[in-house]
Amino acid sequence: MIFAAEPHTATLVRVGIPAWVWFTVGVVAAVGGLALLATDRAQRTARNRERRRWASLRGWQFAETDQVLPTRWQSGAIAYYGTGVAKDVVAGSTFTADGRRQVYVLDHENGGKVTSVLVAVRCRKTIPVVVELWLPSVPFQRDQMPDLLGPVGQRYAFVSDMTAARSLITPDLVEAVEEIGGDVNVVWLEGDWVLATAPPNATPSRLERLLRDLGEVADVVDPFDPEPDPNAESGSGAPGAEPSGSGSGEEQESSSSVSRNNT
């Protein structure tokens, strides 16, 4: 006898996901997105209030948005992240060891996201070379990168002119930059400015310290050069007499610096 097994037919069962499951997934995703937006907005609002209060305490000016200010610079973080927009901008001036200097503090925003807090201190003269000092942990390669000079302290220096940079990067400058801290990705010199980027969550106290450190860098590359006193050189001043327009050196420097800033 010959036995033939009956063929077994396989049936593919179509498994459908109920519509309410897709609806639930969509609702959860939407709620998560709204929560992230709300958190980001809350953080921005808190940072805005904090920055505004800090500016008021220092007697500085505050602006919520400035699209022109970032176009002043083309190197460093501006070249790395893009020009972007300046948000929560603080503008004023502060004293360094060599006098009063103009300063800016702003959130550097690109694509709707704050990439860093940019801090800038102005010099009295134009620095003849662009110097970018990057932490080695940052992937700083980009198109049209300046020439690599080499290690400068804990950072790598990229410069627009090798000869000019070598005469500018002195041990005093290296020491001043070393004090800035490892949370600052880049410090750079451009035009008549010394600039750096702090993390997006940097507090006013951290920004105060960074301003002081950048002020020291500015003092190194742009030291105060007082004008010679013609009376002292000629010896024509009467003994014991005050020179014309006398006053404390600090007051005279403050007055002349404020005049320069106003112009």
In a domain, 118, yes or no: yes
How far, in Å, CA of 90 to CA of 207, rounded? 11
Total domains, the chain: 1
Judge whether 45 lies within some domain: no
Residue 22 lies in a domain: no
In a domain, residue 243? The reply is no
Residue 176 belongs to a domain? yes
Q: Which of 153-157, 163-167, 236-240 has the lowest mean pLDDT?
A: 236-240
* Residue 244, domain member (yes or no): no
The pLDDT value recorded for residue 16 is 65
Residue 225's pLDDT is 72
Cα distance between residue 123 and residue 113, in whole Å: 30
| Domain span including residue 80 | 55-221
Q: Binning pLDDT at 50, 70 and 90, where does residue 26 land?
A: low
CB 193 within 8 Å of CB 73: yes
In angstroms, the CA 51 to CA 64 distance is 10
What angle, rounded to 10 degrees, do the helices at 204-221 and 19-58 form? 50
pLDDT digits (tens, 9 = 90+) for 182-217: 999 999 999 999 999 999 999 999 999 999 999 999
Whether 145 maps to a domain, the answer reads yes
Q: Is the model's pTM score more than 0.85?
A: no
Spatial neighbors of 193 by CB under 8 A, at least 6 apart, are: 72, 73, 120, 121, 122, 123
In angstroms, the CA 180 to CA 153 distance is: 12
Q: Read off the pLDDT band of 47 (50, 70, 90).
A: confident
Q: 92-122: b or e for each residue (b if 16 or more CB lie within 10 Å)?
A: bbbebebbbbbbbbbbbbbeeebbbbbbbbb
**21-36 per-residue burial string, b: 16 or more CB within 10 A, e: under 16:** eeeeeeeeeeeeeeee
Neighbour count for residue 183 (Cβ, 10 Å): 13
248 lies in some domain: no
Q: What is the pLDDT of residue 236?
A: 38
Q: For residue range 125-157, list pLDDT tens digits in order.
A: 999 999 999 999 988 777 788 999 999 999 999
Average pLDDT, the chain: 80
